Structure 1
Amino acid sequence: MINFRYHVVSIIGIFMALAVGVVLGAGPLQRTINTGMNRSSSAAASDPQLSAQAEAEAAGLKALASSSLTGSLTGTQVALVVLPGASDDDVAAVRSTLTDAGASVVGRVTLTDNWQSTSMSQYRATLSTSLASHLESAAAKTASADGVVGYSIVQVLTSSGSETDLLRQILTDKSTPLMMIDEDPTGKATTLVAIGARAQNAATASSAPTSPDAWVGMAQAVGSTSGVVVGDASSRDAMISRIRSAGTAVTTVDSVGTTLATVDTALALSTKATGARAYGVGSGAQSVIPSNK
């Protein structure tokens, strides 16, 4: 299903850009896209013809992008981290695009509300002391409590051994689980893709207030694998917006729930660029699509 708030005009722009091989920046063109989306989003929702056109353009974008993506992620072993409120359809779309590009999705975990709820912040802070003693990453030594939780999740997905087994037991403890293992990668993952909720789902992802510190902590850990965080940046307080404004060293993709987001995710994993990058059309985006240079 297409999220029309982000999709209609951005798809037209990206479709044309991919066709001519233009690398789109975050300047005048992105402002034009955002303006166009705001003007046409309500019309798209009520106009069957416009809806059909957007569907066709999304299919065209995916087909056109496949020529650039095919084989670009061969040898890449990805684990998916599903955040609270994420749509199953969005997770499936990201997974399909990654595998079409040649990646192997070797595992999947789902994070619970305990991972991000502000009411559980003290619990996570206490737990982080125990988790930190089993971590292999040097970066985790200076991380926040939520950062330690994030690095622990990464270690479970990318490593194996007795210390990792202990981390797994702590994180999945049945009394207060932070994580559920849907598909065990047995430490084979080399990079991670974390997928968050759409804008309309974010408010109902948890019945309790959520902590941006948890988002940033997880994003830092994903960044240590050169991975990508995909989510919402439609407002200043949205997850991707908060991760970006915190200066987190991770690549982000906004507009989750659109073909643009799934294509950007695969392109971001395959691009040669280094450092934190911000793709999409939401708050804090640097460019609409990654450059393959």
Structure 2
Amino acid sequence: MIDFRYHLVSLISVFLALAVGIVLGAGPLRDTISDQLTGQVEVLREEKDALRLEVDENRATIADNVAFIESAAPALLDGALPGYRVAVATFPGVTDDVTSAVSQRIEEAGGEITARVELGTDWADPAAEAERTAVADEVRSEVPGVGGADTDDVVLGQALGFALTGATAADPRAASADAVAVLTALADGDDPLVRVEGEAAPADLVLVLTTPQVAPEADATVDPELEPSNVTWALTLAATGEAAPTVVAGYAELDIDTLVRVRGERTVATVDGLGTVAGQVTVPLVLAAVAADAEPLPYGFGIGAQDPLPPQQDLTGPPALETPTTSPGDGQGADGSDGTDGFDGTGTSDEPADDASPSGDGR
């Protein structure tokens, strides 16, 4: 049985140990412990100062690099896209700042933005499969090169490329009746696949701007619908590249970024770093490479990139516009005259229905 003496001895032991600790801490061990703590604090302070200095130096280096690219951009872009017409299609969520910055670089290179469209969420939403099938069935017979066995993703991807580039044989600046019909179908409905900003005229090149994904937390689970969505986008944009000369620009910092999945198809040229000056300057150069029928390669510094820049091209202008032609009934040439027609949201065109693509092969 535990009696009072046991408790008394225990209390005495506790207080004795406490007294010994106080004596040692205030005496022979005080300086040692204090010096160790002071040394550790000083080391941490030095490491923090070194990291702050490194961050400041990196920021200064980045600012210098951006300033250099800004200064070199005019020389790099001068005449890169002489007279080429570009249709810009943006993913949901692409900011106006990014779109404007890229458009400005295209114009600096001598290009012209002839169409701006925003792609809807139904393009890759698993829940919108029925809606995509309905549109694909509607346009399947209107899109050149589409077969009955082609999947909805392929049909819609080629439909996008054709709708943005299809022109009449008489006037390459006027959209063909089939191209207008396809774009009208894509833009139809309360939640359309495509929303057209202003008027859309035929382009020589198609540029698709994508968005970045957000890195998941360490213990978080990746959205199970993300990979199927990325696969759908990849197949769709690969088909767009088959229908028209296409460049896809975006981000390749994470394995789950859409652009990384698009690069896996190896059928369309890509540019990463869209949110940086370097990436935005690279876009017109890659468009020029695609216009010159160069191999579609991944450019930039992100995942899957092969080269920072494509070789310089010596373009003289879009082949479709090299020979001026006269549009029926207006006596005007194919030089941007008043008689040209485009998609204006009404789904109508005054031009004949004979189709001509920028490459002249009906694609």
Contact 1:156–1:165 (CA<8 Å) still a contact in 2?
Answer: yes
* Cα shift at 1:156: 2.0
1:257 — aligned with what?
Answer: 275
* Cα shift at 1:127: 2.4
Match of 1:197 among 190, 211, 221: 211
- Runs of 4 or more, structure 1, over 6 Å off, are 201-204, 206-209
Contact 1:118–1:208 (CA<8 Å) still a contact in 2?
Answer: no
* Counterpart amino acid of residue 229 in structure 1: V
**SS in structure 2 of the partner of residue 71 of structure 1:** coil
* Cα shift at 1:47: 4.4
* Cα shift at 1:164: 2.4
Quick check: 1:222 aligned with 2:241? yes
1:273–1:161 Cα change, 3 Å = closer
Quick check: 1:91 aligned with 2:99? yes
Contact 1:193–1:222 (CA<8 Å) still a contact in 2?
Answer: no
TM-score of the pair, normalised by structure 1: 0.74
* Cα shift at 1:98: 0.7
Structure 2 gap segments, 5+ residues each: 1-50, 167-174, 217-221, 314-363
Which segment drifts farther, 177-186 or 75-84?
177-186
1:92–1:142 Cα change, 3 Å = farther
Contact 2:83–2:111 (CA<8 Å) still a contact in 1?
Answer: yes
Contact 1:118–1:210 (CA<8 Å) still a contact in 2?
Answer: yes
1:133 — aligned with what?
Answer: 141
Quick check: 1:182 aligned with 2:197? yes
Quick check: 1:79 aligned with 2:80? no
Match of 2:256 among 218, 237, 240: 237
* Cα shift at 1:264: 1.5
In structure 2, how many angstroms separate the alpha carbons of the residues matched to 1:139 and 1:285?
31
In structure 2, how many angstroms separate the alpha carbons of the residues matched to 1:267 and 1:140?
33
In structure 1, how many angstroms separate the alpha carbons of the residues matched to 2:268 and 2:297?
7
1:259–1:143 Cα change, 3 Å = farther
Contact 1:86–1:198 (CA<8 Å) still a contact in 2?
Answer: no
Contact 1:250–1:277 (CA<8 Å) still a contact in 2?
Answer: yes
1:66 — aligned with what?
Answer: 74
Q: Which has the larger radius of gyration?
A: 2
Which segment drifts farther, 172-181 or 97-106?
172-181
RMSD over aligned Cα atoms: 2.9
1:226–1:161 Cα change, 3 Å = closer
Contact 1:241–1:284 (CA<8 Å) still a contact in 2?
Answer: yes
Contact 1:150–1:220 (CA<8 Å) still a contact in 2?
Answer: yes
In structure 1, how many angstroms separate the alpha carbons of the residues matched to 2:73 and 2:242?
25
1:141–1:217 Cα change, 3 Å = farther
1:208–1:113 Cα change, 3 Å = farther
1:201–1:133 Cα change, 3 Å = farther
More helix as a share of residues: 1
**SS in structure 2 of the partner of residue 274 of structure 1:** coil
Contact 1:171–1:179 (CA<8 Å) still a contact in 2?
Answer: yes
For these two proteins, the number of residue pairs brought into alignment is 246
In structure 1, how many angstroms separate the alpha carbons of the residues matched to 2:227 and 2:307?
33
1:69–1:127 Cα change, 3 Å = same
In structure 1, how many angstroms separate the alpha carbons of the residues matched to 2:130 and 2:185?
16
1:149 — aligned with what?
Answer: 156
TM-score of the pair, normalised by structure 2: 0.61
1:39 — aligned with what?
Answer: none
Contact 1:140–1:147 (CA<8 Å) still a contact in 2?
Answer: no
2:310 — aligned with what?
Answer: 290
In structure 2, how many angstroms separate the alpha carbons of the residues matched to 1:141 and 1:193?
27
* Counterpart amino acid of residue 254 in structure 1: D
Quick check: 1:170 aligned with 2:212? no
Structure 1 gap segments, 5+ residues each: 1-42
Q: Write the deviation string for residues 92-141 of structure 1: whole angstroms up to 9, x where unpaired.
A: 11111110011011110001111221211232133212211111x21566
Match of 2:125 among 105, 114, 117: 117
